[in-house]
Structure 1
């Protein structure tokens, strides 16, 4: 099930006269005529509980809010708000605190007057969505997140959107920097760990009960192998498909545009390979009782791989000692090495099965009413 992870909204009030909201305002005047132009106002950054942030701005005519309504006033957003109405309810609570008009639903559309050389465009009488991120969680199995992400990073999706795999192998983007749509896969447990470390470095730190909750959440994500799928639909794409009109579009109208990664998953089978060094295999199999002995035997195994005749290098006793150790893990140094007949470091290979993630019983699901009673403050 998809839910909303980020939402940018705005609404114009052509009658004007609204209070200015921002960090600072710049008054503008047309130099040739002396005519006073609409002021330029930058964003006001609001901080709520758990280091969550939203931005709000009003230049007297246009009201705009940007942020992540699913994360606002919450410890995390592993699961978030599933409807636009819930998200707008969060934003309207913030707007009301600044005596700004609330976002309203569009009830009618009309064509905007445009120059003859340009195509006509639709405008509504309510709030407009300028960016929306839809996301869902996949369970791929413990320790298989990187294999899953790397496997899908081998494919283009949609109309030739090329993958960008990050060096750590934990994130892959398609369409980064696009004004149309950007899709992403990433390891959720790794992201939670990074955010926790960042918050703990802050002067006030993190409350012990919050740290415990986040660590439990990280353990849950690691044990189930959570990979996050996100689709960021940008303004150009929203306008092309008339998806920007709050109140007229429904959540289901967005779903056909969120299928590129799903389609890729249906056309590729991804396997998870576990590799283990010869030394660790020897130790795990009980062929040796110390890592030092395992490393010595692995050294001679490497020489054998490179074509050395170990009978010419080792004494007879040493040769048969290392031969006996390696035979425990299925390697016979008495035979000539043949790369086509063995893969000595591959321990296991299995197909990755993708399942939807369900929230554990102790997970705190988002409740709009709870977010709307918590205090927040302007920080910039």
Structure 2
């Protein structure tokens, strides 16, 4: 089940006169009219328990909170909050401590009047989501994390989105710098070990208990082979699909946009359930209708495996025709051939079985209504 790993949300308060929240305030004056303009306020980082942080800003009229609601006031976020209401509840609890109004749901969505020549823009009367990260944990078996990530790194996802495998093999990104949507797979135990290293350098209350708890989490993740799948949906994507209006959308509205990794795993599962030639498999799955077409595509796959760039050999239409056929069985000739990334190392049955990660009995699940913000003053 997907849960929310990061949420950035903002809302306009038309009445104004809210407390200014930030690190610095810049007062602005129109030099021609002498009229006072809305102040410019930069963001302030709020620190909570367990070295958790949220970023908040309010210029008197618009207030914004960024962070990880599933991680707030917790030693980890292996499992997190599954609904938008729970996440907004965490933020509203923090806003209340700063004398700011809560984020509210949109009850009306309308087109805002725009200047001549500009496209009309949809706005609402509630909070607007600007970034949201959806996460799910996969259990691939002890010691299989790197093989799973390496295998997946041989596949483009979506519309030709190329993978980026990190040198240590623990992380693979697709569309890393996109302002649309970014997808990532990473080894959760390795990520927790980095966090543990930082935690051990900071002397805090009940540190030994906290470090022991994180060690137990690392042991659990290693024993289960936990790989985390993460989709970071950015503002441009949200606006394109009208997903930015809190209250007007539900969690299920996001799910259709989180299927890229699952689709890639399905094609790899199909292609390696049995040991067959590429041509036989293409025919069996109905991807081609003749032995001649199957043999032709298999031939180009073998040429690709010998390191040749097929874009230089085939016409554009031929290349994409064979690429589509082969990608349907888990072979992506759009990527440079790498024997360490070949699909036989990534089978969802028999070799690597992928299943949802269960929540252990001793795990501390998140609580919405709790807050222990370190001293901070908001200036009116």
C-alpha distance 155-244 of structure 1, shift in aligned 2 (>3 A): same
* Aligned equivalents of 1:112, 1:40: Cα separation in 2: 23
Residues 108 and 124, structure 1, Cα contact 8 Å, conserved in 2: yes
Residues 21 and 44, structure 2, Cα contact 8 Å, conserved in 1: yes
Measured after TM superposition, the shift of residue 220 of structure 1 is: 0.5
Per the alignment, residue 118 of structure 1 pairs with 118
Matched position secondary structure for 1:267: helix
Measured after TM superposition, the shift of residue 34 of structure 1 is: 2.4
Measured after TM superposition, the shift of residue 8 of structure 1 is: 0.3
* Aligned equivalents of 1:373, 1:241: Cα separation in 2: 33
Measured after TM superposition, the shift of residue 378 of structure 1 is: 3.9
Measured after TM superposition, the shift of residue 205 of structure 1 is: 8.2
Per the alignment, residue 83 of structure 1 pairs with 83
* Aligned equivalents of 2:153, 2:377: Cα separation in 1: 39
Q: TM-score, length-normalised on structure 1?
A: 0.76
Superposed, 1:102-113 pairs within 5 Å as: 102-113=102-113
Residues 270 and 351, structure 1, Cα contact 8 Å, conserved in 2: no
C-alpha distance 270-174 of structure 1, shift in aligned 2 (>3 A): farther
Matched position secondary structure for 2:268: coil
Measured after TM superposition, the shift of residue 204 of structure 1 is: 4.1
Rg (Cα) greater in structure: 1
Q: Deviations over 1:184-225 (max 9, x none)?
A: 000000000000001111244871111111111100000000
Per the alignment, residue 223 of structure 1 pairs with 223
* Structure 1 runs, 4 residues or longer, greater than 6 Å off: none
Matched position secondary structure for 1:54: strand
Per the alignment, residue 277 of structure 2 pairs with none
Matched position secondary structure for 1:157: coil
Aligned length: 302
Q: Deviations over 1:73-119 (max 9, x none)?
A: 00110000000111111101111111111100000111011233232
Residues 149 and 172, structure 1, Cα contact 8 Å, conserved in 2: yes
Superposed, 1:1-380 pairs within 5 Å as: 1-204=1-204, 207-269=207-269, 351-369=351-369, 372-378=370-376
Q: Deviations over 1:45-69 (max 9, x none)?
A: 1111100000111001101000000
* Aligned equivalents of 1:92, 1:186: Cα separation in 2: 31
Q: TM-score, length-normalised on structure 2?
A: 0.76
Measured after TM superposition, the shift of residue 351 of structure 1 is: 2.2
Residues 44 and 57, structure 2, Cα contact 8 Å, conserved in 1: yes
Measured after TM superposition, the shift of residue 270 of structure 1 is: 10
Residues 93 and 371, structure 2, Cα contact 8 Å, conserved in 1: no
* Aligned equivalents of 1:30, 1:150: Cα separation in 2: 57
* Aligned equivalents of 1:19, 1:213: Cα separation in 2: 39
Q: Please provide the CA RMSD for this pair.
A: 2.1
* Aligned equivalents of 1:271, 1:225: Cα separation in 2: 23
Measured after TM superposition, the shift of residue 121 of structure 1 is: 1.6
* Aligned equivalents of 1:379, 1:34: Cα separation in 2: 30
* Aligned equivalents of 1:379, 1:21: Cα separation in 2: 8
* Aligned equivalents of 1:124, 1:209: Cα separation in 2: 46
* Aligned equivalents of 1:29, 1:159: Cα separation in 2: 48
Measured after TM superposition, the shift of residue 15 of structure 1 is: 2.1
* Aligned equivalents of 1:121, 1:98: Cα separation in 2: 31
Q: Deviations over 1:22-43 (max 9, x none)?
A: 1110111222332222111011
Gaps of 5+ in 2: 273-348
C-alpha distance 379-3 of structure 1, shift in aligned 2 (>3 A): farther
Residues 199 and 206, structure 1, Cα contact 8 Å, conserved in 2: no
C-alpha distance 206-188 of structure 1, shift in aligned 2 (>3 A): farther
